[in-house]
Amino acid sequence: MLALLCPGQGAQTPGMLAPWLELFDADGGADAFDIDEYSDAAGVDLRTHGTTSDADTIRDTAIAQPLIVATSLLAARALLGRPLAAADGVALAGHSVGEFAAAVLAGVLPDRAGLALVGERGRAMAADAARVPTGMNAVLGGDPADVAARLEQLDLVAANVNGAGQVVAAGSLEALEALRADPPAKARVVPLQVAGAFHTSFMAQAAQTVAGVAASLDPADPVVPLLSNADGAVVTSGADALARLAGQVASPVRWDLCQETLGGLGATAVVELAPGGVLTSLARRTLPGVPGIALKSPADLDAARAMLAEHGIATGTGAVPTPESNVTPGDS
């Protein structure tokens, strides 16, 4: 079993989309690709933000989320050249917004519908973040019980439980400042450059918005195992996948449980799609002995394809088709 992972917010870097667009432009023919179609679906100028916008600009939640998902989808398109099939022996998981990319690659939604949903998610979460000043801190190390007790004392939420001794605390700026001033024993606290307390009740309105848009879609069941951030479970229903995607906006990301599930499924290799790196690093510590490759740019394609070949996963050429039965939000 090969685990294909999709990164979450914070993985973005200036110009990260440029090499992938250059790859498709140079290839042409069957692989010709128009990024403007993705931009129209997401409601974000992905070409500009993925090639020339600076770090501060792409930190904006409304921009970062569709930009990350689009980059992951293009990387998968370049790597696979075809849709995944049940016989491939691939399991998909994505961290936070990366779960939306994973759902698209699993066949739950076509790429345009997935990007449209992510675009709505990013705008809704940015709006919620603007209502009340909140934020997030990474808590590295420390005894898990001590960390949990300190967060409860400060009325903070473990919004991401990432495994390998890493928890992301979220809540009010005052409480986060108190956490940094007096951290749990043997723990290091690092402020994160995010707009708000994602994956907490502060995002409740955004979760409702995403649920409303998701209700207009006609999802397909995943064709390969798709893991849920809620509890690490393998999702087999398209409707359940969409419900979980909406719910995770205001609920903690249990990446530790996703990795436990990958271990239980017998994952023997990890490929993290662009613009990744963090999930591969976590996998080294939580799935010891399992090799991993972060597909950060087209320069990494040969190594990633070699890993797929070792697992008997064939790669094709040309655009990856998506289910015709699904519709983009707003389509009649």
* Active centre residues (catalytic): 96, 199
Backbone torsions φ then ψ of 230, nearest 5 degrees: -65, -45
Amino acid at residue number 170: A
Query: At 234, which amino acid appears?
Result: V
Does the N-terminal peptide bond of residue 19 adopt cis geometry, omega within 30 degrees of 0? Answer: no
- 237 alpha carbon, distance to own chain's centre: 19
Structure tokens at 140: 């590295």
Nearest-angstrom CA–CA distance, 73 and 324: 17
* Parallel, antiparallel or unpaired: strands 166-172 and 134-141: antiparallel
Which residue type, as a one-letter code, is found at position 323?
P
Residues 6+ apart with CB under 8 A from 53: 14, 63
Amino acid making up residue 97: V
| φ/ψ of residue 85, rounded to 5 | -130, 155
**DSSP H/E element including 20:** helix 18-27
Cα–Cα distance for residue pair 281/273, rounded to 1 Å: 13
Answer yes or no: are the C-beta atoms of 329 and 116 closer than 8 Å. yes
Helix (H, G, I), strand (E, B) or coil at 45: coil
